[in-house]
Amino acid sequence: MATALRSVPLLLSNPSPPPPPSLSRRTTTHPLRKGGKWAVTARKPWPPLWPRSSSQPTPEVALEGDADKISRATLLWRAAKLPIYSVALVPLTVGSAAAYLQTGIFFAKRYFVLLSASMLVITWLNLSNDVYDFDTGADRHKKESVVNIIGSRTVTQYAANISLVLGFMGLIWAFTEAGDIRFILLVAYAIACGYVYQCPPFRLSYQGLGEPLCFAAFGPFATTAFYFANSSKYLTSGISHLPLTGTVLSASVLVGLTTTLILFCSHFHQIDGDRAVGKMSPLVRIGTRAGSKVVRFGIISLYFLLLAFGSCKALPLTCLFLCALTLPMGKIVVDYVKENHNDNGKIFMAKYYCVRLHALFGMALALGLWLARAGNKA
């Protein structure tokens, strides 16, 4: 599911990332002189920040086979998983926009504190996932695992726990500001989903239950929680607690779907490794061909639900229009997975396309909610 809340490229076209790190070295003159001659030293080029296009080998693929030839900086970039931090940004932004539609008030300080806290919680999720996958052997040959990079399971575990504590402190502060017990309860449920997903003795991801947990955590739980985080006894409407509306519930379902697609697609290139350690992800159970059909069904369901929610006025028409503009990105996801589901070298990129869809769709949804309120004021 840290497959969670990494910066996301918001482009509708296929990404055109830079080439992978060169395996050759090029020489450059050093300003120091040795023995009356200019010293010549080898220097590696800067590592790329984004994977290559779908038709070319990607740095991540090299990690699977030639990981020893990848620079440490590139490994650190992959381990940071920065794009996945969109799963912290989108639920918060959509939930806050739904609250703005209801009240016309935006609490900027509270928003940024919650964003920082959510990113810390996602850091805990990513680090602890590496720790427990290291314990089971799932990450034994995964060079971009944080545990393998720093060489210490204990340090990684401590860093994960500290991130969770700091993140929860920010959530508690927001709770005291909002005064709505529903917020902290739903956030606790979302964090609990993350714990039982990967941590012993539960490790429900090994039973193939990661996707339902991901949907619940980032959809109905987190998105609705951040909506309730905008409650306040100082609202001009005189309402101390925001009402639960069909708008926020509909939006949370859509956010949950796009988040779950990221997690589902992250399993495509890991099937052999997961099967070897007994991790029965959905793709281990059904295979990549059926998995590509599941992705297609998921994308179709996303836009069908968008149309249904817009038609019954659960979501404003502005949301329907803006989110419909992300259809090209949805088609890219479907086509890419269909064409490359059997190619471990290319299918790694599928989760990056899903991250882009998640970010684009989420921002379109939030903007639609904001514009609906602005239109009502006018």
Residue pair 98/112 in contact (Cβ under 8 Å)? The answer is no
Q: HEC string of 107-118?
A: CHHHHHHHHHHH
User: Tokens representing 55?
Assistant: 């038709």
Amino acid identity at 338: K
User: Does the pLDDT at position 11 exceed 50?
Assistant: no
Give the percent of the chain with pLDDT over 70.
74
pLDDT at 269: 85
What is the CATH architecture assignment of 83-372?
A: Orthogonal Bundle (1.10)
User: Does the pLDDT at position 45 exceed 60?
Assistant: no
Helix or strand (DSSP H, E) at 30: strand 26-34
Distances (CA, A) of 73 to 18, 61, 124, 193, 197: 15, 16, 21, 32, 29
Per-residue b or e along 147-162, where b marks 16 or more CB atoms closer than 10 Å to that residue's CB:
bbbeeebeebbebbee
Least confident among 1-10, 67-76, 240-249: 1-10
Three-class SS of residue 294?
helix
Alpha helices by DSSP H, listed for the chain, are: 59-65, 72-80, 86-103, 108-136, 146-150, 153-178, 181-198, 210-216, 222-228, 246-265, 271-276, 282-311, 317-324, 327-340, 344-347, 350-377
pLDDT at 73: 67
Burial class (CB in 10 A: 0-12, 13-18, 19+), 55: exposed
Give the percent of the chain with pLDDT over 90.
56
pLDDT at 82: 76
Residue pair 372/276 in contact (Cβ under 8 Å)? The answer is no
CB-CB neighbours of 26 under 10 Å: 9
pLDDT at 24: 41
Band the pLDDT of 233: cuts 50, 70, 90: low
- Per the listing, tokens 């659960």 go with 314
Distance CA(237)–CA(239), nearest Å, equals: 5
User: Does the pLDDT at position 371 exceed 70?
Assistant: yes
Of 25, 87, 12, 88, nearest in space to 358 by CA: 87
CB-CB neighbours of 322 under 10 Å: 20
Of 228, 199, 126, nearest in space to 167 by CA: 126
User: Does the pLDDT at position 61 exceed 70?
Assistant: no
